[in-house]
Amino acid sequence: MTATDPALTALAQSWCALSLLHGRIEAHLERTLQASHDLSVREYSLLDVLSRQHNGPGGHLQMKQVADAVVLSQSATTRLVTRLEDRGLLSRYLCATDRRGIYTDVTEAGLALLAEARPTNDTALREALDEAAKDPELTPLVRAVEALRIPTSV
């Protein structure tokens, strides 16, 4: 394959379309969550991921797992956790079995904000997908997203 191979060009165009869809959705979610709940998309995602933790085996996530789930570097995730902790939405504590491990949990205030923001997020996501579906280049991607049934575990 050469750089001008039609298959590579089509692949690059498909990637651009996927990137465009992601950007449009994220921008709409960001505006809506910020305006309604003073939350960024990343903050919402972090609260959502951490709210699914439990005390059973494998119930708490290491910071690397959290970083992977919210698609940030470990250092950016730590800064994000600190910001939300400063707002009283998260708390950190040492792991009882491994003093090197630090867990992060969503506080009652964080759970309340997440419950309040979830319908806003879901509505904004639907709006963004509906708007994107009007673009013939993005319609197949929107339909693919709508058809996905991914388990809710992290």
Q: What is the pLDDT of residues 24-49, one digit of tens each?
A: 999 999 999 999 999 999 999 999 99
* Closest by CA position to 132, among listed 56, 47, 40, 124: 124
Show Cβ contacts of residue 125 under 8 Å, excluding neighbours closer than 6 positions.
Answer: 25, 29
CB burial of residue 89 (10 Å; 0-12, 13-18, 19+): buried
pLDDT digits (tens, 9 = 90+) for 51-101: 988 777 667 888 888 889 899 998 999 999 999 999 999 998 887 777 777
Given a contact cutoff of 8 angstroms between Cβ atoms, the answer to whether 81 and 92 are in contact is yes
Q: Give the whole-angstrom CA distance, residue 81 versus residue 92.
A: 9
Q: For the full predicted model, state whether its pTM sits above 0.95.
A: no
Q: Where are the alpha helices (DSSP H) in the chain?
A: 6-37, 41-51, 63-70, 74-86, 108-132, 139-147
